[in-house]
Amino acid sequence: MKKWAMIAVSTLIAWAVWGFFGTKSDESEIEKLVLTGSSTIAPLAAEIGKRFESLHRNVRVDVQTGGSSRGVSDARAGLADIGMASRALKDDEKDLLQFTVALDGISVILNKANPVEALSKQQIIDIYTGKITSWKQVGGNDAPITVVNKAEGRSTLELFLHHFGLKNTEVKPHVIIGDNQQGIKTVVGNPDAIGYVSVGTAEYEASQGAAIKLLPLEGIAASVENVRNRSFPLSRPLNLVTRSEPVGLAKDFIEFAGSPQVNDLIEAQYFVPVPR
Amino acid sequence: MTKNVLATGLIWLMAALVSGVFVWLLSDILIHGLPQLSWAFLAEAPENSGRSGGIGPIIVSTLLILLVAMVTAAPLGLATAVLLSEFTRYDSIFGRLVRRSLDVLAGVPSIVFGLFGNAFFCIYLGLGFSILSGGLTLACMVLPILIRTAEEGLQAAPNDYRLAAAALGMPRSAALVHLLLPSAAPALLAGLMLGVGRAMAETAALIFTSGYVDRLPNSLLDSGRALSVHIYDLSMNVAGGDANAYSSALVLILLLFIINTIAMSLAKQWLYRRVVSI
């Protein structure tokens, strides 16, 4: 028994030590770039960072989260080389520079079998707050509406609530979902459901034959194209923020993050690349 | 009589409910997490924000953070517990003050430790987002648990030991090392395990101190993502990361289980050698 315990302990320690010293390289030449801020952008920035590292030897890109406001304040205080903010800079933050890396849009989706073709802003608000409970009230079938909402903590939820001026406590959901795929599956499986997901995912899935349709918002079709040309109302920019005109490594990174070389990474996170 | 049956039934029901929750939780994680689990998953680096690839660097970071936390907290905690239990009177003002502050500290939410760690270790001491900052923050967090359990373990040692040692003319330090500490070993280990458990489960305190970087750390001054932070990020922030979040949760539970088993068997050995075989 004791022997086994000793073997197990030493294996664990050896593993940690191997990880610690195994890949030791020359520290002195390594340049570090620190990004902090929005947790929505962080996974994308980390992936862009990995590709940037593979192209530039001796560069390390460290991505930390904490929210958009933190990204802005860290960039301003110089704690981070680059801040990340999943919104446009506010008026009192205009002393900073912003570089849009990608766009994020949200589309309201219905099942393809649902005859309703469009909903007004007020109708969507009434459906989500439980004032409208049947599709008949908005010109559809005589069937109860299944309201699909996002789980707490999702940036899609925040953007949706912000756009419609709702609080999460006011929403009366029947189904709560996590990611985009789950939202699409729920609406595909229920002809009377209404949900909202990232435009990029919804458009891709609809083109692959999923039984959903993307509702236009304020008369503007929900499409990646309209998110890209910024006419779609329910969208936001994903920005990198700096204190002053970026130089050196930060400049290289921002240029790289804005180049077509990272478009596949942006799309893998269900965001929309900005036109270059 | 019916009253008795009712009470017994109720108690059984409660116990079944508690174990039911545990079984449900574990089977949920096993069902969703086991299919993706493989040696490659344990060794490879995460890809595509953790949706694919493995968690190799994250396990290394987690163990390093844990190592820093325990190497710092264990001696400090043990020394404080010995001071409280053996070298001060229980009702002295000093002892009461220390105990009260430890109890308050034990109830502080972990996010507060995270903000403190970020302000003190990362920014004030200039350690930045690093495994060292994370480990030291966790050390502060587990100290109260370590000290209180160790102190209780020492106090539970029979007073006869102390009297007999004194009668034999043993120095207090020798009595401590040869009699009291070994007899309190199970309690010390239990405290250590509670600390390890709390440290491994910690997300809020680590996201602001040891950070988010999922690369294999080169030194203790590098940022490294802990398993719990990875699970949080995958399930809350990365669309399509749920499957790997489950597997990571399974790995976290397995790690805790392994560490627990090893510690318990070591404690048994130590106790046996020190006390029973003399």
Q: Are A27-103+237-273 and A104-228 equal in CATH topology?
A: yes
Q: Which of B48, B67, B240 sits opposite A181 (nearest CB)?
A: B240
> Which residue of chain A is at minimal alpha-carbon distance from B230?
A43
Q: A137 CB contacts (<8 Å, ≥6 apart)?
A: none
d(CA A58, CA B17): 55
Q: What is the pTM of this model?
A: 0.79
Express as a percent the part of chain B with pLDDT over 90. 46
> pLDDT of B62-107, one tens digit each?
999 999 999 999 999 999 999 998 888 878 899 899 999 999 998 8
Domain ranges of chain A: 27-103+237-273, 104-228
Which of A7, A10, A12 to mutate against chain B (most B CBs within 10 Å)?
A: A12
Split at pLDDT 50, 70, 90, the class of A25 is very low
Would the CB atoms of B64 and A16 count as touching at under 8 Å?
yes
| pLDDT tens digits, one per residue of A118-130 | 899 899 999 999 9
- According to DSSP, residue A56 is labeled S
Instruction: Name the token pair of B239.
Output: 């669309």
Enter the CATH code of domain B37-277: 1.10.3720.10
A235-262 residue pLDDT tens: 888 999 999 888 889 999 999 998 999 9
Q: Which residues of B touch A16 (CB under 8 A)?
A: 60, 63-64, 67
- CB distance from B276 to chain A under 8 Å? no
Average of per-residue pLDDT values in chain A: 85
pLDDT at A24: 47
Query: Helices B56-82 and B131-155 sit at what angle, rounded to 10 degrees?
Result: 40
Instruction: Tell me which residue has tokens 């779609």.
Output: A232
Answer yes or no: is pLDDT of A1 > 70: no
Interatomic CA distance for residues A197 and A188, integer angstroms: 13
Instruction: Compute the CA torsion angle B178, B183, B186, B191 (nearest 10 deg).
Output: -80
Contact A47 B49 (CB under 8 A): yes
Q: Is the pLDDT of residue A16 over 80?
A: no
Inter-chain CB proximity B217 and A44 less than 8 Å = no
Fold exhibited by the domain A104-228: D-Maltodextrin-Binding Protein; domain 2 (3.40.190)
Spans of chain B, pLDDT less than 70? 239, 271, 273-278
Q: How many Cβ pairs closer than 8 A exist between chain A and B?
A: 102
Give Cα separations from B124 to B114, B116, B127 (angstroms): 14, 10, 8
Instruction: Tell me the Cα Rg of chain A.
Output: 23
DSSP 8-state assignment for residue B274: I
| Mean pLDDT value across residues A255-272 | 89
Domain residue limits, chain B: 37-277
Asked if B57 and B212 touch (Cβ cutoff 8 Å), the reply is: no
Within 229-248 of B, beta carbons closer than 8 Å to A belong to 233, 235-242
The answer to whether the beta carbons of residues B81 and B150 sit under 8 Å apart is yes
User: Which of A30-39, A79-88, A148-157 is the least confident region?
Assistant: A148-157
CA–CA distance, A127 with A114 (Å, rounded to integer): 15
Q: For A32-60, what is the mean pLDDT?
A: 90
In chain A, what residues touch B228 (CB-CB under 8 Å)? Answer: none
Residue B21 amino acid letter = V
- For position B117, what pLDDT does the model report? 93
Q: Is the pLDDT of residue A82 over 90?
A: yes
Q: In this structure, are residues B259 and B196 in contact, taking their beta carbons and an 8 Å threshold?
A: yes
CB A37 within 8 A of CB A83: yes
Q: What is the ipTM of this complex?
A: 0.78
Superfamily of domain A27-103+237-273 in CATH is Periplasmic binding protein-like II (3.40.190.10)
